């Protein structure tokens, strides 16, 4: 397998109303089976999923958490507004969005936008990926998979990486269960989170600061079989349960 990866260069600062796919299609000639990774940041900017801090009135809870976490209470309020469930309040907010993703500070960003504004994650990233994929098909006639990425922290290891928060045109997970290894053993649990692997490398191509590369194209990955159940459900998630126990114990103290 020979895979080519390139960043989409020369895009301007994105504003509400911009047709980001038209702008990308001006710079990339897509082929069938390509995959386009798009930073959630520019999708959100193009849709106006941003908030000016000066319009946000923090409630008591936001003020309390902000004092503890050394944050701007208005920023904390924006984070709480996007959380379906708050898992941890300190030392930073860890929250789950209604669509399943768990992220630090609900994925709300203050970087790569003008002072006084925050960028929110798209409210429905799966639908967003579908929409972008259809737009590429509409403009170029090509069948291109789309992954919407965000930079995320992770458990156990230092360092952020890219994750897929929305995808369309490929299954999230490549399922190896029932395959046989080199020695004929049946694989019982191996599921590979391919969309996250691709998002991770896309994140590397994009950078985090002033590179100005909010999209990357992957060519030659082919396609794989699997499923879309990327998020653990209730009982499957032992880390989540452990955090819950930890929070309950703290409240009893
Ligand atoms: P996130 O990972 O989705 O939160 O996005 P980042 O803020 O880390 O930005 C990812 C990449 O997109 C970096 O190379 C940024 O410089 C770039 N970027 C962010 N916003 C814009 C924009 O409006 N226009 C352009 N051209 N690049 C942007
Ligand atoms: Mn982000
Ligand atoms: Mn990033």
Alpha carbon distance 189, 205 (integer Å): 31
Q: Do 149 and 202 meet the contact criterion of CB atoms below 8 Å apart?
A: yes
Q: Where in the chain are the domains?
A: 1-32+39-49+124-247, 50-120
Ligand nearest to the CA of 160: 3
- pLDDT, residue 37, reads 99
Pocket test for ligand 1, best of 17, 196, 206, 215 (most atoms within 8 A of CB): 206
Alpha carbon distance 59, 74 (integer Å): 9
**What's the pLDDT tens digit per position in 107-133?**
999 999 999 999 999 999 999 999 999
**What's the pLDDT tens digit per position in 188-239?**
988 999 999 999 999 999 999 999 999 999 999 999 999 999 999 988 999 9
Whole-number mean pLDDT of the chain? Answer: 96
- pLDDT, residue 102, reads 96
pTM for this structure?
0.97
Q: Which residues line ligand 1 (CB under 6 A)?
A: 11-14, 39-42, 45, 109, 111-112, 150-151, 206-208, 210-214
Q: Is the dihedral angle over the CA atoms 155, 160, 164, 166 positive or is it negative? A: positive
- Choices 3.30.1330.100, 3.40.1160.10, 3.10.20.30, 3.40.50.280: CATH for 1-32+39-49+124-247: 3.30.1330.100
Q: In this structure, which residue's CA is closest to atom 15 in ligand 1? A: 212
In sequence order, what are the beta bridge partners of 39? Answer: 149
- Core vs surface per residue 16-49: b (16+ CB within 10 A) or e: eebebbebbbeebebeebbbbbbbbbbbbbbbeb
CATH of domain 50-120: 3.90.1660.10
Distance in Å, CA 112 to ligand 3 centroid: 9
Q: In this structure, which residue's CA is closest to atom 9 in ligand 1? A: 208
Distance in Å, CA 147 to ligand 1 centroid: 15
- pLDDT, residue 23, reads 98
């Amino acid at each position: 397998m020979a895979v080519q990866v390139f960043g989409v260069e020369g895009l301007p600062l994105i504003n509400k109303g911009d047709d980001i796919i038209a702008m990308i299609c001006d710079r990339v000639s897509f082929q069938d089976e390509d995959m386009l990774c798009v930073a959630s940041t520019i999708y959100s900017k193009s849709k106006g999923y941003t908030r000016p801090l000066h319009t946000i009135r923090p409630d008591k809870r936001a003020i309390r958490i902000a004092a503890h976490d050394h944050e701007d209470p208005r920023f904390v309020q924006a984070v709480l507004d996007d959380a379906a469930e708050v898992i941890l309040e300190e030392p930073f907010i860890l929250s789950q969005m209604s669509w399943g993703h768990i992220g630090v500070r609900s994925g709300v960003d203050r970087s790569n936008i003008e002072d006084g504004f925050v960028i929110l994650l798209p409210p429905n990233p799966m639908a967003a990926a579908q929409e972008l994929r259809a737009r590429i098909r509409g403009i170029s006639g090509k069948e291109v998979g789309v992954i919407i990425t965000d930079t995320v922290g992770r458990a156990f290891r230092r360092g952020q990486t890219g994750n897929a928060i929305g995808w369309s045109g490929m299954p999230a997970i490549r399922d190896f269960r029932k395959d046989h290894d080199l020695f004929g053993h049946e694989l019982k649990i191996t599921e590979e989170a391919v969309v996250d692997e691709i998002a991770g490398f896309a994140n590397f191509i994009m950078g985090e600061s002033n590179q100005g590369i909010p999209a990357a194209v992957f060519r030659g990955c082919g396609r794989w079989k699997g499923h879309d159940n990327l998020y653990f459900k209730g009982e499957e998630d032992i880390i989540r349960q452990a955090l819950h126990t930890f929070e309950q114990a703290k409240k009893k103290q």
